[in-house]
Amino acid sequence: MNKKVLFLLAYAVNLISSLLLAVYGLWYLIFIPALAIGLIFAGREFKASIAGIFGAIGVFFSILVYQPGFRIGEASLLAGIIGIPFGPVIVILIMLVISFLLVFLGTEIGCSTRNWKVQKV
Amino acid sequence: MSFTGSKTRFIVSIISIAIVLVMISVSFAGIPPFYKLLNPATGIMAPGPLPYSPGEKNLTVNVNGETSNIIVNMQSDGFIGIASNNTRGVYYEQGYLEAKYRLEEMTILELTAQGNLSSVVGPSVVSMDVFYRELMDNQVAQEELNNLSRTGTTYLALQYFVEGINAYISNLNPAQLPILFKVLSFSPQLWTIKDVLEVQQLFLWENSAGGLDPIYFNYALEKMPENVVKALYPAYPAGVQNPIVPYSVNPSVYNEHGDISNLSLYNASWSNYTKPFTNMGTSSANVGGLSLSQLLTSMRYPYKDFGSNDWAVNGPLTNNQSALIANDPHLTTSVPSIWMGFQLVSPGQNVVGVVFPGFPGVILGHNPNVGWGATNGQVQETYFYEESVNESRPWYYYSNNSWVHFTIYNETINVKGAHSVQIEVKRANNGVLVQNGCFPIAMDWTGLSPSYEISFFLHIDKTGSVMQFQQNASKYFKVAIQNWAVADIYGNIGIFPYGDYPIIEKGNPRGILPGTGGYNWVGFIPINQEPYLYNPSRGYVFSANQITVSSNYPYYVGWDYESGYRADEIHLLLNSTKGFDTAKMEAVQLTIHDYTTNIFLPKLISAMKETGFGNSTIYNELQNWNGNMTINSTAATIYYYWIQNFVNDVFSPYMTYYNITASEGLGQVSFFLGSDDYYHGPLIEDLVNWTMNYPDVQWFSNPVTGVHETATSQMMLALNKTLSYLNNKYGKISNSWQWGDIHKRYLSSLFGINSFNTSEIPAAGDGNTINAAYGTISDFGPSWRMVANMSHAYTSVGIYPGGISENPISQYYENDFVPWNDGIYYRLIPLTAPAQFFYMYPGGESP
């Protein structure tokens, strides 16, 4: 398979798996599929890091698919309670940054594991 | 990020992800872990429950083998109609819907009443929990529960109501918990009947007038000579007052000897100023570290407000056509509101009105036969005693020549994020210790004994006449005395400030009494001597928190009332209006004329003329003003600041001279120049009396500087100060001085979260207008307005500010705020409602 297509497919899988895990309440486990996906990106750290963005997008989509207004509104309420500015923006940003880090680091682990094995062989 | 090799990258990644996972798993600054809080499926951004949606629904509910057919009619103004073919169904559904739309509010009230708030919120509210433990809500509620007949109306209604609450809580998906619960990591517990009774105790306390007044006022009694106390703080107000039950209208309750002639109302009965309370904080650590100052803070609870109007008219004022009732209780206008609106229809019952979330039934409203409203009686329901305690035997107090063991309750307060707090609540025969240490102070409160105000509400919801209402009030309503104004379908009206009025044999109840036994309560005013009016020939009854009785009433009932200007305005309007109908009642309720302008404005204008201000713009503004606090009036702004300065300028030197300090209540209570002193308490009434009758009296002079002053000179000093302030803040007189630019209303978050407040909107009125809006940025005013014409009560109207939902992002959170501010009323039983909601009215059907 063409590598480009493979990578695009990996990104798509990453996005969908993050979305599904977020919908089913297992948001914090989104790094697990990323581990497997990381194996595809051996030696391509930059491309692997992009997977993190797709993971974050998947999580964000999980909010948008159902009652987006209510859910973003609730983020805004949380910001009000704890006293942070810009309405829901920072709260959602924190969630997206965490999502990015989880997927990115998961991908990195997968990616480096494969490299490591290859070098050992 | 750069890696030197795959192994390094692998290790760094593993460590990094571990750090991220740890970071999102720990809670900091009281905020739950991010993995929970930000979880899109279960955290704060989880999908919510179905929002409030106006419309009609038919339900069948089976509980404990009883099937209820229920119709729920949800209105766009947030009122909910519930009709059921049996009693269980109606209270069950009310409990269910209260929990559905106000679970946060109910839970906070429940935890507060129990003294358990710190278990959820943390150490910041421990002192409040200590105080509510000392109020013994738990023990009193248990006694009340024990005394309730298991087959009686009250017990069954509470049982059905709690079943409904618990049905909602049991089926609640954790992901759909309200946001505050998620932020506090709290899951609501199932309710019991006792929980409802504890919430009853909370509201009784919050609506019991007097509070800590005797503790504060003891400072005045100790520090000021008797002639000053007599002049500044007469036991009976010296100003213009129209009592609720004047001697001239019902002399029959003025016949007995009473207790007032045995009391000494101008001297301290207990005096120990050399050892002030404020030094006692540390010595009281054994009751949870609660010092007096903390106690004062904990008692300033957001619901503790006293100001309201109610009146009923009949006979000559309605062309003998009908009896009408109007009511607007003034409380904190909060979001969510402290009210929920319900119409409850079941066999033998069709009642509509408002209720506190956590209560079944309707508290203020009407049924097809009787309509009722309430204002706070502002009578004294707390008495304070200094107990004599032997330091070597701290569990004993001295009473009636012997040492008596306190009844001791050991309490544990669990505190979130801190060690639990152990306290001993000590109860004497004259109250419960609220201040421990070298000078233990006991507070006796009528609510420390079981009472059944919920029974009262449940009974009046079905009552058939004013007379029946009176019987229920005399039987069940004991604590947090209210002026119940009532009208019925037969054209009768009445007003009943019924409840337990304590009697003592000697001493000064305005201050702290000796706890040695001779000053304790010896009973309550007999019911046949309690003030009331029934069908007075003048055709109206009214109250606005003014003094209850005329000066020759034989019993002491209190002294620190609202100053009576709203009452005077109502009295004036009721005397000058004929042919009352719903529209005319609404017009009175929405009046924004400040009655004090009738008294002071001519004097001020005259003083301005005398002192050479006769040609000024300010003079013209004030002279052409009619005293209405409208939003486009600049004179209203000048007058508002002027009256405050007038009161402060005259009395502040006395506070300084007699060394009344902030820790003793200066600036906090009306008799020591609190923010409410221009509409509440004795000082403004003194000023009216002196300005009108004794303009050169010595009390206008400054005791600190010795400068001789008169009413005229003080009025002009206050005016100069006012103009200087307004010029500095808003520039020269212009549209920027308009009252609506300065005076605004908003609805404040019930939970104290500023971001949950509504926006501020220009508002008319002030603290002395019938349509009251206290302060400049006001969250205090008519929390509910109702007008009912009892000859066709189904046309009644009402509104409460805010909305049904407690969620700030709901469109039903504040949807009634602007209409309420604009003076809009809604039909309480809409014409489009199903026929069952007109049950017991012409054309109605059985539920």
Q: What is the DSSP string of B96-125?
A: HHHHHHHHHHHHHHHHHHHT-THHHH-GGG
Contact between A14 and A30 under an 8 Å Cβ cutoff? The reply is no
User: Domain-by-domain residue ranges, chain A?
Assistant: 3-120
Same domain as B663, residue B548: no
Distance separating alpha carbons of residues B15 and B10, to the nearest angstrom: 9
**Angle at alpha carbon of residue B413, lines to B410 and B414, rounded to 5°:** 140
Q: Mark which of B727, B742, B757 sits at the end of a domain.
A: B742
Same domain as B690, residue B542: no
Q: Which of B313, B770, B321 is nearest to B541 (CA)?
A: B313
Q: Which of B764, B779, B777 is nearest to B821 (CA)?
A: B764
Give the tens place of pLDDT for each residue, B675-694. 888 888 899 999 999 999 99
Contact between B453 and B480 under an 8 Å Cβ cutoff? The reply is yes
Structural domain contains residue B41: no
Same domain as B635, residue B498: no
DSSP structure class, residue B50: P
Structural domain contains residue B541: yes
Same domain as B417, residue B298: yes
Same domain as B578, residue B437: yes
Contact between B216 and B669 under an 8 Å Cβ cutoff? The reply is yes
**CA dihedral over B700, B703, B709, B714, signed as positive or negative:** negative
Q: Which of A84, A92, A102, A112 to mutate to test the interface with B (most CBs of B within 10 A)?
A: A112
Q: Is B92 helix (H, G, I), strand (E, B) or coil?
A: helix
Same domain as B515, residue B405: yes
Same domain as B642, residue B624: yes
Distance separating alpha carbons of residues B326 and B584, to the nearest angstrom: 11
B417 to chain A, closest Cα gap in Å? 18
CB contact under 8 A, B40 and A91: no
Q: Does the ipTM surpass 0.90?
A: yes
Q: Which of B230, B21, B118 is nearest to B697 (CA)?
A: B230
Contact between B169 and B49 under an 8 Å Cβ cutoff? The reply is no
Contacts A95 to B, Cβ<8 Å? 34, 38, 40, 45
Provide the phi-psi class of B98: left if phi over 0, else alpha when psi is between -120 and 50, else beta: alpha
Same domain as B585, residue B720: no
Same domain as B492, residue B403: yes
Cα-based distances in Å from B489 to A119, B311, B315: 95, 16, 12
Domain count of the fold of chain B: 2
B41 to chain A, closest Cα gap in Å? 5
Distance separating alpha carbons of residues B707 and B120, to the nearest angstrom: 56
Same domain as B570, residue B647: no
For B809, other C-beta atoms within 10 Å of its C-beta total 17
Task: Enumerate the β-bridge partners of residue B426.
Answer: B408
Q: Is B190 helix (H, G, I), strand (E, B) or coil?
A: coil
- Residue B835 carries which side chain, given as an amino acid letter? A
Which residues in chain B land under pLDDT 70? 1-5, 239-240, 272-306, 437
What is the DSSP pairing of strand B797-799 with strand B826-827?
antiparallel
Give the tens place of pLDDT for each residue, B715-759. 999 999 999 999 999 999 999 999 999 999 999 999 889 999 999
**pLDDT computed for residue B723 by the predictor:** 97
Selecting from B7, B13, B179 the residue whose C-beta is nearest the C-beta of A105 gives: B13
CB contact under 8 A, B9 and A108: yes
Same domain as B607, residue B524: no
Q: Of all helices (H) and strands (E), which one includes residue B421?
A: strand B421-428
DSSP structure class, residue B828: S
Structural domain contains residue B468: yes
For residue A117, is pLDDT > 70?
Answer: no
Q: Mark which of B742, B760, B782 sits at the end of a domain.
A: B742
Q: Which of B602, B645, B640 is nearest to B738 (CA)?
A: B640
Q: Which domain holds residue B564?
A: 234-305+380-452+463-589
E-assigned strand segments in B302-379: 307-313, 324-332, 334-335, 340-346, 349-355, 364-366, 370-376
Contacts A83 to B, Cβ<8 Å? 755
Report how far Cα B555 is from the mean position of its chain's Cα atoms. 25
Q: Mark which of B742, B773, B794 sits at the end of a domain.
A: B742
Contacts A80 to B, Cβ<8 Å? 753-756, 808
Structural domain contains residue B372: no
Task: Enumerate the β-bridge partners of residue B28.
Answer: B31
Structure-token match 């109501």, residue found: B161
Same domain as B578, residue B619: no
